[in-house]
Structure 1
Amino acid sequence: MPTDDLPETFHVTTGEQLRAVSNLTRHRIMAALRFEPATITQIAAKVGLAKGSSSYHVRLLERAGLVKVVRTRKVRGVTERYYALAARSISLPDPGEGGPDVLMRHALADLEASPRKERHVRMAHLRLTAEQFTQLAARLQALADEYQKLSDPSLPDASLVFALFHPAPGGQAEGSAR
């Protein structure tokens, strides 16, 4: 299915939507739908769930407006529904001071579940001017955008996650005990 008619971004704004994307299983279902629509059976196989569990999570995502039925067809008297993301990208609200970043928690869980031989992880501690910080953020975003445009749904999935940030003073998150 062409995605030309999809909105560019879906902005998560309600509590129901935030709860829907905060669940790791639903995050993985949305990832499975990022390139092409799929049926409940196909989603279950991609994510490694029972069909009933997949159906439950897809219904919650659909109710929150994050996925939608884009096509139906009759198969042996049963209507098969194909689901797709509601937009090309999902924008999450800023977690606020001291709040957990849902996207990074899910990315870390996906990283930990990935085969070790297929990981490229690096952390670098930098000292940058404000201008260098801004330039690096723009370059990272442009690189991610460039490779996202090259994505081919017939190839295996790969995830790129980056976080450029100033650590909390003293290396301790705000609100945590000493």
Structure 2
Amino acid sequence: MPTDDLPETLHVTTDEQLRAVANLTRHRIMAVLRFEPATITQIAARVGLAKGSSSYHVRLLERAGLVKVVRTRKVRGVTERYYAMAARSITLPDPGPGQPDLLMRHAVADLEAAPADSERHVRMAHLRLTEEQFAELGERLRALADEYREASDPSLPDVSLVFALFRPAQPEQTEGESK
């Protein structure tokens, strides 16, 4: 199914949507559907779930408006539904103070579940940047991710790219301390 007719972005705004994407299994189902439609049977095989469990999670995603049926076909008297993402990308709200970032939590879980012998490129760098450099780097990272997303070929194996550019919390200074 071409993604040209899908909205570019769906903003998660409701509690129902947030609960739906907060679950790691549903995150993995959405990853299966990011490039091409799939049936419950195909989703179950890719995610490693029973068909009943896959069906349950897909129904919750569908009810939240995050996935939708894009085509159906009859197979031996049964209607087979193909599901796809409801938009090309999903934007989550910023986490509240002290709350975990869902994307990073899911990314770490996916990284930990990846085969230990697979090639990985993981790096953390501590930088000191001006506001302008910070903004420029953020835009360059977004543009690079978008460029490679546009060039993605659904016939190739999945690759995940996650980045976080942020200013860490500064420790509070006690009275009499200096920087």
Coarse TM-score class (shorter-chain normalised): over 0.9
Which secondary structure state, in structure 2, belongs to the residue aligned with residue 10 of structure 1?
strand
Paired with 2:25 and 2:164, the residues of 1 have a C-alpha distance of 22
Identity of aligned residues (%): 84
Distance of 2:58 and 2:171 partners within structure 1: 42
* Deviation readout 1:116-173 (Å, 9 max, x if unpaired): 33211001111111111111111111111111111000000000000011111139xx
2:71 counterpart SS class:
strand
The answer for the alignment partner of 1:130 in structure 2 is: 131
- 1:60 is matched with 60
1:35 aligns with 2:35: yes
Q: Which amino acid aligns with 1:137?
A: G
Say which one has the larger Rg: 2
- The residue identity in structure 2 corresponding to 1:168 is A
Q: For residues 142 and 70 of structure 2, what CA distance do their matches in structure 1 show?
A: 30
Residues in 2 aligned to 1:18 and 1:59: alpha-carbon distance in whole angstroms: 15
Q: 1:2 — aligned with what?
A: 2
Note the 1:121-160 alignment, pairs <5 A: 121-160=122-161
SS at match of 1:65: coil
Local SS of the residue matching 1:146? helix
What CA deviation, in whole Å up to 9, does each residue of 1:10-45 have, x standing for no partner?
Answer: 111111110000000000000000000000000001
TM alignment of 1:10-49, pairs within 5 A: 10-49=10-49
The letter for the 2-side match of 1:132 is Q
Runs of 4+ in 1 over 4 A off after TM superposition: none
Mean CA deviation greater in 24-33 or 108-117: 108-117
Number of aligned residue pairs:
171
> Displacement, 1:107?
0.6
What SS does structure 2 have at the residue aligned with 1:169?
coil
Counterpart Cα distance in 2 of 1:148 and 1:11: 19
Partners of 1:130 and 1:10 in 2: CA distance: 28
Residues 84-109 of structure 1 show CA distances to partners (whole Å, capped at 9, x for unaligned) of: 00000001111122221111100110
Q: Which runs of 5+ in 2 are unaligned?
A: 173-179
Quote the residue 1:174 is aligned against: none
Measure, in 1, the Cα distance between the counterparts of 2:22 and 2:120. 24
The alignment partner of 2:58 has SS state of helix
Q: What is the aligned partner in structure 1 of residue 175 from structure 2?
A: none
Out of 156-165 and 96-105, give the one that drifted further: 96-105
User: What TM-score do you get using the length of structure 1 for normalisation?
Assistant: 0.93
Amino acid at match of 1:59: R
In the aligned structure 2, how far is the partner of 1:10 from the partner of 1:134? Answer: 23
| Match runs of 1:99-110 below 5 Å | 99-110=99-110
Q: SS of the residue aligned with 2:74?
A: strand
Normalising to structure 2: TM-score of the pair? 0.93
1:46 to partner: Cα distance = 0.6
In the other structure, the counterpart of 1:86 is 86
Distance 1:4 1:136 in 2: 28
